[in-house]
Amino acid sequence: MSQQKYKITLCYEGTKYRGWQRLKQTPETIQGKIESVLSRIFDMPIQIDGASRTDAGVHARAQVASFTAEKRSCEQLKQELNRFLPDDIAIVAVEHVASDFHARFHAKKKTYHYRIWKADYPPVFQRKFVTVLGGELSIERMQEAIPLLVGKRDFKSFCTDKTKKSTIRDLESIEINETPEEIIIAFTGTGFLYNMVRIIVGTLIEIGLGQRDIQSIEAIFKSNTRQLAGETAPANGLCLEKIYYEM
């Protein structure tokens, strides 16, 4: 059988999973679940590469992954995957792509949304996807802080990863939108460090609650240390919304 590179687009509710990346000590990862089903379908070990290694409890509306296996119908493979995957993971699309395509290395930028519940009643239906705060946020103060965060900068102070790799990232934009019930913070950038979005959200929340001065952001960047930034916001409010590729 000839070999084919596949690109899959998928969504998942990350509540009960230990994150995207496969772990030896537990089968409860998104990557692990998909690889297990693919290996069953193709009757051989299959490994996939994901575009973003989402953390434990983080959701995705449009994650992308790639892998190589014997050539077969994309529609048939999509149906088989959805038949055997758990009901909190769904394959949205399956495509044949060029043999050199890599879901992570060819991604140009990503968008994440962080949702904060602001209504004066509990989020019964949205409770797994939003963070509930105990105070009222000043959107104006948060908006004022955004120019100090965007751009190509060293985000070492806004991550908990101790990697020796470069911590310079290009954060293209942060947008804050409101609905009657929620505050939605959208982040778009070329790439994100471990917990980077959640730490920035935690810092913005502290600014919005009046617990932190806006100008402290510059001091955080200069410090090159995680300790000066805000608390890491809860994972359940974060969702990977889109991965961008060149057409």
pLDDT per residue as tens, the chain (247 positions) = 689 999 999 999 999 999 999 888 888 999 999 999 999 999 999 999 999 999 999 999 999 999 999 999 999 999 999 999 999 999 999 999 999 999 999 999 999 999 999 999 999 999 999 999 878 899 999 999 999 999 999 999 999 876 678 999 999 999 999 999 999 999 999 999 999 999 999 999 999 999 999 999 999 999 988 999 999 999 999 999 999 998 6
Structural domain of 179 = 109-244
Q: Which two tokens stand for residue 26?
A: 């537990």
Q: Look up residue 46 and give its DSSP letter.
A: -
Cα distances (angstroms) measured from residue 189 to each of 107, 126, 173, 218, 228: 11, 26, 7, 20, 23
| Same domain, yes or no: 18 and 91 | yes
Q: Dihedral through CA 190, CA 192, CA 193, CA 198, nearest 10?
A: 160
CB 192 within 8 A of CB 169: yes
- State the CB neighbour count (10 A cutoff) for residue 78: 19
Per-residue pLDDT at 84: 97
| pLDDT value for 247 | 62
Q: How far apart are the first and last CA of the chain?
A: 29
Please, are residues 32 and 85 in contact by the beta-carbon 8 Å criterion? Answer: no
Question: At residue 236, what are phi and psi to the nearest 5 degrees?
Answer: -65, -20
Amino acid 186: pLDDT: 98
Domain assignment of residue 150, yes or no = yes
Same domain flag for 42 and 141: no
Using the 8-state DSSP alphabet, how is residue 26 labeled? B
Asked, for residue 104, whether it belongs to a domain, the answer is: no
What was the pLDDT predicted at 146? 97
pLDDT of residue 200: 98
Co-location of 120 and 240 in the same domain: yes
Domain boundary, last residue among 97, 117, 150: 97
CB 39 within 8 A of CB 80: no
**CB burial of residue 123 (10 Å; 0-12, 13-18, 19+):** middle
User: What is the C-alpha separation between 25 and 35, in angstroms, rounded?
Assistant: 16
Catalytic pick among 55, 120, 161, 213: 55
Residue 239 is part of a domain; what is its CATH number? Answer: 3.30.70.660
pLDDT at residue 98, as a whole number: 96
- What local confidence, expressed as pLDDT, does residue 24 receive? 83
Structure tokens at 34: 């998909």
Is residue 5 within 8 Å of 74, Cβ to Cβ?
Answer: no
How many structural domains comprise the chain? 2
Would 103 be classed as within a structural domain?
no
Instruction: Judge whether 44 lies within some domain.
Output: yes
161 annotated active-site: no
Distance between CA 62 and CA 192 in Å, rounded?
Answer: 16
How large is the C-alpha radius of gyration of the chain?
A: 19
Same domain, 118 and 228: yes
Q: 195 and 174, same structural domain? A: yes
Residue-level pLDDT at 137: 94
